[in-house]
């Protein structure tokens, strides 16, 4: 049962992340720094990578983990570009892309370390 839900959950998270990235979001909790949104980017893309890994873990190799990470990075870059083109109150930001990539890489490293420990 749970295995059948993995892919729909990954797709659903991706859709939600896309919508949140392209809409105006108010009242996001603040940590009182100028880089609060970078933390949210790191967290969002860390989760994106982990959720997709769980969805495909039965078929993914070590090389496949880095391919998945690459796709998640490209997705983040595309969303940042779309923010600048499709929205009036949001702009694409290079530092957001960097934060997205950091989140993806942290998740990929976690996955690789976990797999190594389990093998």
Q: Where are the domains of the chain?
A: 2-24+36-118
Mean pLDDT of 23-36: 79
What does the pLDDT look like over 64-82, one tens digit per residue? 999 999 999 999 999 999 9
Mean pLDDT of 75-98: 92
Cβ atoms of 76 and 101 within 8 Å: the answer is yes
Token pair of 42 as six digits: 């790191």
What does the pLDDT look like over 50-59, one tens digit per residue? 999 999 988 8
The pLDDT of residue 33 is 80
Percent pLDDT > 70 in the chain is 99
User: pTM for the complete prediction?
Assistant: 0.92
């Amino acid at each position: 049962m749970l295995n059948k839900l993995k892919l729909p959950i990954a797709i659903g998270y991706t859709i939600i992340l896309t919508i949140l990235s392209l809409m105006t979001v108010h009242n996001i909790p603040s940590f009182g720094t100028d880089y609060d949104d970078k933390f949210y980017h790191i967290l969002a893309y860390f989760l994106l990578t982990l959720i997709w890994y769980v969805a495909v873990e039965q078929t993914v190799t070590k090389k496949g983990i880095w391919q998945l990470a690459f796709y998640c990075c490209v997705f983040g870059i595309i969303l940042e570009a779309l923010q600048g083109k499709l929205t009036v109150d949001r702009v694409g930001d290079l530092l957001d892309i960097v934060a997205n990539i950091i989140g993806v890489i942290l998740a990929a490293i976690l996955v690789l370390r976990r797999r190594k420990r389990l093998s």
